[in-house]
Amino acid sequence: MADVSVSLGGRPAVEGADLTLRDGELLGLLGPNGAGKTTLLRAVLGLVPLSTGTVTVDGIPPDRARHLIGYVPQRHEFAWDFPIDITGAVLSGLTRRAGFPRRPSREERAAADEAVELAGLADLRRRPVGELSGGQRQRVLVARALATRPRLLLLDEPFTGVDVPTQELLTDLFIRLAADDKALLMTTHDLAAAARTCTRVTLLNRTVVADGGPELLADPQQMLRAFGLDRAAQEAAA
């Protein structure tokens, strides 16, 4: 993306943001609440209009690149009370792509089975989603996105509210996906997880404040610019 600005409700949410993501990178997008992190993901998906700038995925505008993108929203954005099992939830990311539900093809079922395995849910595939724990629900959303076999995976706060085993499983999975030349863009508030997991981090506060390796998170001046934190607050957050 280049010089991307987005306004929501007449107020600037993102201003003049420049960001490039390459295959094989696991990029952590960090910033305070209201910094525009989720808005930036929605801009990549083509879900919000741009005031200025351009976004492309592999050189293609978002409205024509959706087949290249997998999106893992925050958990509250999925209807967990819908009477469907894990396999059905994962398949729904494929069968509703044309805007209406339809019977999955053999290839789509194979892709869903593969994604369920990757997310460590094979033994639970027939369990209703309403009976799942928070960590299991997060893995369902990841599997649902992976079933599309994307080149770019967008992750909105994937570690929020999950237990330690789930965080470790997802961390290992994201690292393996990056090693397989997938590009991953992950918003997170977890500085420690970003330092351990990401190959690169970007600090955002409406615009890109800083971009570099995970060691950037130990730079007090850059953290102060992005979060307005003093040294004591940084150490408490770590």
What is the full per-residue pLDDT of the chain (238 aa) written as tens digits? 999 999 998 899 999 999 999 999 999 999 999 999 999 999 999 999 999 999 999 999 998 998 899 999 988 888 898 999 999 999 988 866 555 566 888 999 999 999 999 999 999 999 999 999 999 999 999 999 999 999 999 999 999 888 999 999 999 999 999 999 999 999 998 888 899 899 999 999 999 999 999 999 988 888 888 887 544 344 444 5
- The gap from C-alpha 78 to its chain's centroid, in whole angstroms, comes to 14
Q: List, in order of start, the domains of the chain with CATH numbers.
A: 2-79+150-237 (3.40.50.300)
- Here the tokens at position 106 are 């053999």
Cα–Cα separations (whole angstroms), residue 199 to 30, 111, 183, 196: 13, 27, 11, 9
Distance CA 88, CA 132 (A): 14
Taking the alpha carbons at both ends of the chain, their separation in whole angstroms is 30
Distance CA 80, CA 122 (A): 19
Distance CA 238, CA 234 (A): 6
Distance CA 124, CA 107 (A): 21
DSSP-based three-state secondary structure for 165 = helix
Q: What is the pLDDT, as a whole number, of residue 233?
A: 46
